[in-house]
Chain A
Amino acid sequence: MNCTKCKMKAAIKLPRHHAAFCKSCFTHFTHDQVVKAVKSQQMFRKEDRILVAVSGGKDSLALWDILLKLGYRSDALYVNLGIAGYSHRSLDKVRSYADKTAAGYGATLHIHTVEQEEGAGIRELSMLVHRPTCSTCGTIKRYQFNRAAIEKQYDVMATGHNLDDEAARLLGNVLHWQEEYLEKQGPTLPASLDGFAKKVKPLYRLTERELAAYAILHGIDYIVDECPMAQGARTLLYKEVLNRLETESPGTKQNFYWGFLEKQKVKPSVRSTMAERDQACLHPCSTCGQPTTADVCSYCKLMAKAKTHSMS
């Protein structure tokens, strides 16, 4: 099979685009998709400082790589969750990329270690507060990324969520008619209030398969294992279903998620409503000062509960 553009030998076939690309044309394609995402969703400008949330997986490392190569000023934050074996290996991948590639662009890697700051790893914390690990992890990561972005004065925080992540999340929200979540699902979440960083997903136009291919073709050494805590998660089931549909009917994931985004545009009031609602109900947490709808934010409640249980 030859490259649709230059007729050299292709490395990857993209049925949803009726195309196949060699390494060079595929690189151009992926960068172009990110440029389109950034511009169409008004994610950030060339002069903005971006904080990339990295995990050691293909998506976040590919995102950091693409942003650096496109000339964006992007540093990264890794949150070490203290998952035995897995966190250590994923941190190695992140450090290796930061030292070998990102440092050459003048980019910095920040590391937050949950065990150091919170006194226990994610597994222990979730057991102490009797909550699922993924939910505890989500609370900690959201909190730490937002806090780092605000404290270190980044203009925007970028995550490696791809088309598969967004389509799977959309499927889950639709299946359970979680309309309040549907309203908030999008590639750009504005900084609706002081204390909340703007959050963007520049990879929403690229599939998981395309990002894995990008990482392989560019020699990005990433952690291939799925997080051991995420095994059996419902999102993985939704992804499997969507991948079966995609194989039989290329373009399904794209039509599903991009179609949703088009429909969101018809209701332009949604985003301003979100911001207005946030303004109306959010205020600083009485413990840490981060924005929350309650007196004490969910992160501080979690940590207080963990502390109480660990002492008893």
Chain B
Amino acid sequence: MHIQLSHPPRTVDIKGPKRAKDLLRELNLVVEAHLVIRGDELVTEDEMLYDQDHIEIRPVISGG
């Protein structure tokens, strides 16, 4: 699956299917500091993500 990340902005491809919380763990990202967005839909950590999904992992610490 195609994953978009921020801080710094980058994209990575990871093989699915995979639960959102496992994806975060694999990328060494803390659950409390990130949200997983599939397309334009916010998903919970137990959601299964597939190869065709476009995923954004958005850090929650942001702003000025």
Contacts and interface: CB of A to CB of B under 8 A. Distances in A.
Interface stretch (A27-35, A53-61, A145-153, A186-194): A53-61
Contacts of B31: 247
Contact of A236 (B32, B60, B61): B61
Contact of A213 (B35, B46, B61): B35
B7 interface: yes
Interface in A239-264: 239-240, 243-244, 246-247
B8 to A, nearest CB: 10
Interface of A: 1, 10-13, 20, 55-60, 81, 86, 90, 160, 164, 207-209, 211-213, 216-217, 222-227, 230, 236, 239-240, 243-244, 246-247
A209 B30 contact: no
Interface in B20-53: 30-35, 37, 41-47
B7 A243 contact: no
Contact of B60 (A208, A227, A244, A247): A208
B: interface residue count bin: 20 to 34
Interface of B: 6-7, 30-35, 37, 41-47, 58-64
Contact of A217 (B33, B42, B61): B42
B63 A226 contact: yes
B32 A246 contact: yes
Contacts, number: 87
Contacts of B32: 207, 209, 243-244, 246-247
B23 to A, nearest CB: 15
A226 B7 contact: yes
Contacts of A207: 32, 60
11 contacts: A11-B41, A55-B63, A60-B63, A90-B64, A207-B60, A209-B60, A217-B42, A224-B6, A226-B7, A226-B61, A227-B63
A224 B59 contact: yes
A243 B44 contact: no
A47 B62 CA distance: 32
Nearest to B47: A1
